[in-house]
C-alpha cells in the first residue's frame, strides 16, 4: 500500500481492537464472580451463544437495541440459574453441566435460528447508540476509537471498577470469596454458601449473556450459527490470566483484542507475514501472559468442589 | 453389397447389442451416440453431503445443500445433508456407511484426506473438493471450482466503479476456490484500471463462519481507502456486509459497494450495497456425478465452469451505468472467444506472487 490513509486506518485498528475486547471482558468478569465463589462454569460459551441469539431475536422483533441487550442478559441469568440449580443443590458435576450447557447453547440456537428465520440472514433494523463527544471524537487516530464507540462499550469498561469494588470491598464480595476459599468456615460464620454461590453464578450468567448480546446486537448486528467461536473458552482463560481480578482481566481482554486487530492490520500496513503466523499472535500473547502472570496464581481453594453441609 | 456379405455384419451387430446389455461397462458416456441414454447399471437411491459449516450461511455450504436436495428431488432419490460437521468427520462417515448411502459428497477442502481413506476402506464412492490427485476409478471423484473467469468480470466491474482507486479483497481463508477467484478478480481489476490499488486481507485460518472477524477486517479495508470490496467468506460475509452497511450509513455521499460469492443475497441486502455475486450452481455437477455413478463412469474430475453454467455473475442492479454493463459484456465475450485468458492460481503463495506482480508496492 502506497497511499494508505494512516490516521483513519490506525483509528480503525484501535477501534476494532477495543470492540473485540468487550465480549471477552464481560464474560470473564462474570466468570470471575463464579470462580471466586467456587463454581467452574464451562457453560460460558453456551451462555454467550444463548445471549447472542436471544438478544438478536428480541432486538429484531422489537426494533430496540436495549431490549435485545436486556434479553441477552436475561437468558444468561436463566442458563446461570440452571447451572446453579444443578451444581449447587443437586451436586451434579460442574464440568459436565457446563459442557452440556455449551452444547445445548450451540444446538438450540442453531435450531431456533432455522426454525424462526428459515436460515435467512437478517440484519437488525437499528444500530446501537454511540457516544459522540464533540472535540474529543475529532482527535486524530484515538478520538473516534476511544470516544465514538457504542454506549455498551463504556458500560463494559465501567463494570470493571464496579466489579473490583464489589468483590474487594463489600460484604457480598467477602462472602463470595469466602465460599470459594473455605465454604465450611463461611457456613460456620453464618454465610449462606448455596445462596452466595447461586448469586455469583447468576452474575456470571448475566455477564456472559450480555457479552453474547453485545456481539450479535451491537457489533455484528445479526446472528450467525456458532458466532461466538470459542470466545467463552477464551474468557475462561482470561479469568485465570487475570487471577480473578477485574483490572487484570481488563488488561488481558484489551491485549487480546488489540492483538486480534493487529492480526489483520499488519498485512494491510505492508508487513509481509503469513496469516497462519499472525493468526497465532493473540493466542501466543495470551499463552505468554498466562505463563508469566498466572503461574503464581492461587486458584480459589474450593473451585469446582461441591459443598454439602456436614460432609468434608 | 451382397446379401451374403451383410449377414456376418448383422451377427456382429446383434452380438454387440446382446453383449452390451450383459456387460456392466458396456456403454461409456463419452463413447455413446449423442442423444443416447447410457445404461443404468447401479441405480442410485441414497446420497449424502457433508458440509463443515452451517447451511444457513447463504454461501458455500448452503449452495451445496440446496443443490443436492434439488437434484435428489428431481431424481426422486434420498439426500442426507450432514451440515455443520466441522473437520473431524470420521464418526459421521461411519454413520453414513451404516445408512447404506451410495455416494458421499465431502464438501470441504479440509476433507481431502479423510474421505478418500473412507472410500478405500468402505468401498463407498466419495466426491472431494479441489483434490484431483485423489481421483480413483469408481471410488473417488473430484470437484473443481474454477470461477476465476467470472471473478475477472467482477474485477472489471470493480475497476469501472471504484472512485477512490482502492479496491479490497477480503477472504476467510486461502483455499483454492477463493484463490482462483482472487487472482481472476485482480487481473480483471488491473486490466480495467491499471493504476488501481488492491488491499488483500485474510480474516484468519478457516475463519469461514467468523462474522465478527469479517466485520473487523472489512472495517480496516474500508479505512485503508477501499470503496469496493470483493468478499469471499461464507458466514463471515455477513460481518463484511455489516461493516459496509455501517460505513455507508456514516458516509452517505461516499458509499462502498460489495461483491459477494457463491450465493444470492439480493433478497436480503440493499441494492446500493450489493453490486453482484459470483454465483455457484452445484446442481450441474451433482446431476452429472450421480448419472455417472449409475453408469459406472464415476471417478473423474467435475468442474464448475462458465461452459456448464456452474458459475455466473448475478444480474447487475439497475443503478450500474450502461457503459459499465457493456464493458463487462465485452470482457465476457473476450473470455468466451479466447482473447482474454485468465490465470488459474490455486495456491496461496501463487496468489501473493501474482498480486505482488500486478500491484507492486
Considering the domain boundaries, does residue B34 fall inside one? no
The verdict on a CB contact (< 8 Å) between A12 and B212 is no
Q: What is the pLDDT along chain A (312 residues), one digit of tens a residue?
A: 446 788 888 999 999 999 999 999 999 999 999 999 999 999 999 999 999 999 999 999 999 999 999 999 999 999 999 999 999 999 999 999 999 999 999 999 999 998 898 877 888 988 888 887 888 888 888 888 899 899 999 999 999 999 999 999 999 999 999 999 999 999 999 999 999 999 999 999 999 999 999 999 999 999 998 899 999 999 999 998 888 999 999 999 999 899 888 888 888 887 777 767 777 877 887 778 777 766 666 788 999 888 887 766
For chains A and B, CB pairs below 8 A equal: 127
Query: Quick one: closest CA in A to B200, which residue?
Result: A268
What is the pLDDT at residue B5?
A: 43
Same domain, B235 and B195: yes
B30 inside domain: no
Q: Summarize the confidence of residues B297-320 as an average pLDDT.
A: 90
Contact between chains at A8 and B223 (C-beta distance less than 8 A): yes
On whether any CB of chain B is under 8 Å from the CB of A62, the answer is no
Asked if A219's CB is within 8 angstroms of B215's CB, the reply is yes
Is the pLDDT assigned to residue B18 strictly greater than 50?
no
Give chain B's domain count.
Answer: 2
A264 to B174: CB separation less than 8 angstroms, yes or no:
no
Tell me which residue in A16, A221, A279 faces B220 most closely, judged by beta carbons: A16
Verify whether the Cβ–Cβ distance A224 to B221 is below 8 Å: no
> Can you give the pLDDT at residue B236?
93
Q: What is the DSSP letter of B223?
A: H
**B119, B172: one domain:** no
Q: Are residues B161 and B227 in the same domain?
A: yes
Same domain, B299 and B247: no
- Shared-domain flag, residues B220 and B347: yes
Contact by Cβ (8 Å): B292, B30: no
Determine whether the interchain pair B205/A227 forms a contact, defined as Cβ–Cβ distance below 8 Å: no
Edge-first strand listing for the sheet containing B46-50 = B78-82, B46-50, B103-106, B126-129, B140-145, B301-304
Residue B40 is predicted with a pLDDT of 79
A1 to chain B, any CB pair closer than 8 A? The answer is yes
Question: How many angstroms separate the Cα of A115 from the Cα of each of A118, B70, B237?
Answer: 6, 20, 22
Does residue B246 share a domain with residue B327? yes
B130 and B158 co-located in one domain: no
Strand order across the B274-280 sheet: B197-202, B166-171, B228-232, B257-262, B274-280, B311-313
Can you give the pLDDT at residue A276? 74
Those of residues 144-203 in A touching chain B at CB distance below 8 A are: none
The arithmetic mean of pLDDT across residues B262-270, rounded, is 86
Query: Are residues B286 and B176 part of one domain?
Result: no
* Structure confidence by residue, pLDDT tens digits, B184-242: 999 999 999 999 999 999 998 888 889 999 999 999 999 999 999 999 988 899 999 99
Same domain, B300 and B339: no
Residue B22: the pLDDT is 37
User: B20 vs B99, which has greater pLDDT?
Assistant: B99
What is the mean predicted confidence (pLDDT) over B334-360? 93
ipTM of the complex: 0.88
The domain in which residue B138 lies consists of 46-145+282-304
Domain ranges of chain A: 21-134+150-294
Chain B contact for A221 (CB, 8 A cutoff): yes
Task: Please tell me the predicted confidence (pLDDT) of residue B6.
Answer: 46
Residue B3 has what pLDDT? 39
**Distance, in angstroms, between B192 CA and closest chain A CA?**
19
Whether A279 sits inside 8 A of B205 (CB atoms) is yes
pLDDT exceeds cutoff 50 at B33: no
pLDDT of residue B152 exceeding 50, the answer is yes
Q: State the pLDDT at residue A295.
A: 67
Best probe of the A interface among B204, B206, B254, B260, by most A CBs < 10 A, is: B204
Work out the mean pLDDT of chain B and round it to a whole number: 88
Cell output for B216: 473487523
Query: Cβ of A224 and B209 within 8 Å?
Result: yes
Q: In this structure, is residue B204 part of a structural domain?
A: yes
Answer yes or no: is B310 within a domain. Answer: no
User: B4 falls in which pLDDT band (50, 70, 90)?
Assistant: very low
Tell me: do B156 and B68 sit in the same domain: no
pLDDT digits (tens, 9 = 90+) for B113-123: 999 999 999 99
Give the CATH number, domain containing residue B131: 3.40.50.2300
Query: What is the β-pairing status of strands B140-145 and B166-171?
Result: unpaired
Q: CB A220 to CB B84 under 8 A? A: no
Domain boundaries A21-134+150-294, corresponding CATH code: 1.10.3470
Please tell me whether residues B153 and B136 are part of one structural domain.
no
Alpha-carbon distance A222 to nearest alpha carbon in chain B (angstroms): 8
What pLDDT shows up at residue B30?
Answer: 36
Residues B244 and B114 in one domain: no
Amino acid at each position: 500500500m502506497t497511499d494508505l490513509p494512516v490516521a483513519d486506518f490506525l483509528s480503525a485498528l484501535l477501534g476494532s481492537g477495543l470492540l473485540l475486547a468487550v465480549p471477552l471482558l464481560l464474560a470473564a468478569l462474570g466468570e470471575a464472580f463464579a470462580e471466586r465463589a467456587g463454581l467452574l462454569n464451562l457453560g460460558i460459551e453456551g451462555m454467550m451463544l444463548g445471549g447472542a441469539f436471544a438478544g438478536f431475536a428480541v432486538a429484531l422483533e422489537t426494533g430496540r437495541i436495549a431490549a435485545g441487550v436486556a434479553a441477552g442478559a436475561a437468558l444468561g441469568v436463566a442458563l446461570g440459574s440452571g447451572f446453579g440449580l444443578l451444581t449447587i443443590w443437586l451436586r451434579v458435576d460442574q464440568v459436565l453441566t457446563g459442557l452440556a450447557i455449551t452444547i445445548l447453547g450451540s444446538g438450540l440456537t442453531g435450531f431456533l435460528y432455522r426454525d424462526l428465520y428459515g436460515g435467512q440472514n437478517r440484519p437488525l433494523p437499528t444500530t446501537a447508540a454511540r457516544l459522540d463527544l464533540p472535540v474529543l471524537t475529532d482527535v486524530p487516530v484515538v478520538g473516534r476509537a476511544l470516544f465514538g464507540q457504542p454506549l455498551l462499550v463504556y458500560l463494559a469498561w465501567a463494570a470493571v471498577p464496579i466489579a473490583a469494588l464489589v468483590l474487594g470491598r463489600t460484604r457480598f464480595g467477602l462472602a463470595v470469596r469466602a465460599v470459594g476459599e473455605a465454604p465450611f468456615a463461611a457456613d460456620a460464620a453464618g454465610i449462606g454458601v448455596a445462596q452466595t454461590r447461586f448469586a455469583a453464578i447468576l452474575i456470571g450468567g448475566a455477564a456472559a449473556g450480555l457479552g453474547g448480546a453485545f456481539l450479535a446486537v451491537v457489533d455484528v448486528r445479526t446472528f450467525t450459527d456458532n458466532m461466538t467461536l470459542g470466545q467463552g473458552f477464551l474468557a475462561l482463560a482470561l479469568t485465570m490470566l487475570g487471577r480473578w481480578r477485574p483490572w487484570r482481566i481488563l488488561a488481558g481482554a484489551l491485549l487480546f483484542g488489540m492483538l486480534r486487530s493487529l492480526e489483520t492490520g499488519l498485512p494491510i500496513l505492508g508487513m509481509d507475514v503469513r496469516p497462519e503466523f499472525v493468526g497465532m499472535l493473540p493466542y501466543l500473547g495470551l499463552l505468554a501472559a498466562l505463563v508469566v502472570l498466572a503461574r503464581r496464581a492461587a486458584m480459589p481453594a474450593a473451585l469446582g468442589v461441591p459443598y454439602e453441609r456436614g460432609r468434608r | 453389397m451382397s446379401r451374403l456379405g451383410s449377414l456376418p455384419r448383422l451377427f456382429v451387430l446383434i452380438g454387440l447389442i446382446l453383449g452390451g446389455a450383459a456387460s456392466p461397462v458396456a456403454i461409456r458416456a463419452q463413447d455413446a451416440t449423442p442423444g443416447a441414454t447410457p445404461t443404468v447399471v447401479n441405480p442410485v437411491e441414497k446420497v449424502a453431503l457433508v458440509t463443515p459449516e452451517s447451511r444457513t450461511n447463504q454461501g458455500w455450504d448452503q449452495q451445496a445443500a440446496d443443490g443436492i436436495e434439488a437434484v435428489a428431488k428431481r431424481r426422486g432419490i434420498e439426500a442426507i445433508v450432514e451440515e455443520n460437521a466441522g473437520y473431524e468427520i470420521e464418526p459421521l462417515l461411519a454413520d453414513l456407511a451404516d445408512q447404506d448411502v451410495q455416494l458421499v459428497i465431502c464438501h470441504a477442502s479440509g476433507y481431502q484426506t479423510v474421505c478418500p481413506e473412507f472410500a478405500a476402506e468402505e468401498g463407498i464412492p466419495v466426491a472431494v473438493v479441489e483434490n484431483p490427485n485423489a481421483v480413483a476409478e469408481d471410488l473417488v471423484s473430484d470437484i473443481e471450482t474454477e470461477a476465476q473467469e467470472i471473478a475477472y468480470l467482477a474485477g472489471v466491474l470493480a475497476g469501472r466503479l471504484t472512485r477512490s482507486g482502492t479496491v479490497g479483497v477480503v477472504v476467510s481463508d486461502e483455499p483454492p476456490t477463493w484463490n482462483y477467484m482472487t487472482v481472476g478478480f485482480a487481473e480483471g481489476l488491473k486490466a480495467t484500471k491499471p493504476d488501481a490499488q488492491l488491499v488483500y486481507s485474510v480474516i484468519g485460518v478457516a475463519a469461514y463462519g467468523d462474522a465478527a472477524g469479517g466485520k473487523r477486517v472489512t472495517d480496516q479495508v474500508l479505512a485503508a481507502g477501499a470503496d469496493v470490496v470483493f468478499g469471499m467468506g461464507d458466514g463471515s460475509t455477513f460481518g463484511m456486509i455489516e461493516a459496509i452497511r455501517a460505513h455507508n450509513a456514516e458516509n452517505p455521499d461516499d458509499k462502498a459497494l460489495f461483491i459477494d460469492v457463491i450465493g444470492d443475497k439480493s433478497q436480503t441486502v440493499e441494492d446500493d450495497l450489493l453490486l453482484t455475486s459470483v454465483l455457484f450452481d452445484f446442481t450441474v455437477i451433482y446431476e452429472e456425478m450421480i448419472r455417472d455413478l449409475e453408469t459406472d463412469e464415476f471417478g473423474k474430475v467435475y468442474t464448475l465452469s462458465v461452459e456448464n453454467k456452474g458459475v455466473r455473475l448475478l444480474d447487475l442492479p439497475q443503478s450500474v451505468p450502461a457503459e459499465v454493463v457493456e464493458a463487462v459484456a465485452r470482457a465476457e465475450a473476450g473470455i468466451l472467444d479466447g482473447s482474454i485468458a485468465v490465470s488459474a492460481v490455486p495456491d496461496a503463495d501463487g496468489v501473493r506472487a501474482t498480486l505482488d506482480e500486478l500491484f507492486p508496492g
